[in-house]
Amino acid sequence: MQLLILIDAVKRASAARITAVIPYYGYAKQEKKTTGREPISAKLVANLIRTAGAHRVLTMDLHAPAIEGFFDIPVDHLQAGQLLSDYVRSLNLKDPVVISPDAGGVGRANIFRERIGASLAIIAKQRPRPDAVEMLEMVGDVKGRPAVIVDDMISTGGTLVEAARSLLQRGATQVYACATHGIFAGDGISALRDSELVETIITDTIPLDPSAANARIKSISVAPLFAEAILRIHKDLSLSALFHN
């Protein structure tokens, strides 16, 4: 609501162009109906942003790339994969395996795997209820190797905690986790603090709660990437290089 009010305020102040910078698009998980009588909130909020007066949206790592199509205005969709993979490379892990926590994240995990020179494994899971997860099977081998779980966001941390436990049971020597958005809803931070994860690597698209100080969470700033994107938009320059890098 605050974003909509700000857009309306600058529109009424005769702004020539309005770009809504949204590092974390908070309604992205509701991009489709999973049961009857559910809203598609991601589309609704996209309509509200356009109606309020925004001419363009700058965001990062949408939960589903198709959400770009929900907007009737240009969307610049930045990705944090390069920042996260650069940090993981600096850890100098020996023969790592990148883990996709579900089939839908295989594309993201495969790009990450190529960047750090690792192999790929996939966890099959099901959700008996929202924000709960049950591991079914894994495709790939992690025995005697460090594992890096790659996802777009961490909500309650339940998926990561269960995945880390499952990977260690299958012989992984250590488990790291990478995600762009650290939501940490409910007891998410406590869950990670008590988990067997060596480190959880996120970005600062969402401010990190001070209680995470001893939860082995590494936050990487996306400010330079957004600053460069905003500058290029302001000067009417191409953003293609930012998407590729």
Encode 85-96 in three state secondary structure.
Answer: HHHHHHCCCCCC
Asked whether the predicted pLDDT for residue 37 surpasses 90, the reply is no
- For residue 126, the model assigns a pLDDT of 63
Residue-level length of the chain: 245
Task: Give residue-wise pLDDT tens across range 189-213.
Answer: 999 999 999 999 999 999 998 888 8
With beta carbons less than 8 A apart as the criterion, state whether 87 and 201 touch: yes
> What pLDDT was estimated at residue 226?
97
Q: In this structure, are 101 and 195 located in the same domain?
A: yes
**Domain check: are 96 and 162 in the same one?**
yes
Q: Number of folded domains in the chain?
A: 2
Beta strands in the chain (DSSP E): 19-22, 56-60, 75-78, 97-100, 119-126, 134-139, 147-154, 175-182, 199-203, 217-220
Which residues are tagged catalytic?
125
Q: What is the mean pLDDT of residues 219-237?
A: 95
Q: Hey, what amino acid is at 143?
A: K
Judge if 95 and 215 occupy the same domain.
yes
Q: Are 213 and 233 in the same domain?
A: no
Flag whether pLDDT at 183 surpasses 90: yes
Q: Which two three-digit tokens encode residue 212?
A: 């995470």
Question: Would you state the pLDDT for residue 128?
Answer: 59
Backbone angles phi, psi at 188, to 5 degrees: -60, -45
- Tell me the pLDDT tens digit for each residue of 124-160: 766 656 555 566 678 899 999 999 999 999 999 988 8
Q: Are 99 and 115 in contact (CB under 8 A)?
A: no
50 & 69 share domain: yes
Same domain, 65 and 178: no
Same domain assignment for residues 196 and 231: no
Same domain, 89 and 115: yes
**Do 105 and 144 lie in a common domain?**
yes
Same domain, 134 and 181: yes
Residues 68 and 166 in one domain: no
- What is the extent of the structural domain holding 160? 81-220
CATH number at 87 reads 3.40.50.2020
| C-alpha dihedral, 212 to 214 to 220 to 221, nearest 10° | 50
72 and 86 in a single domain? The answer is: no
Question: 223 vs 70, 112, 138, 187, CA distance in Å?
Answer: 25, 21, 36, 27
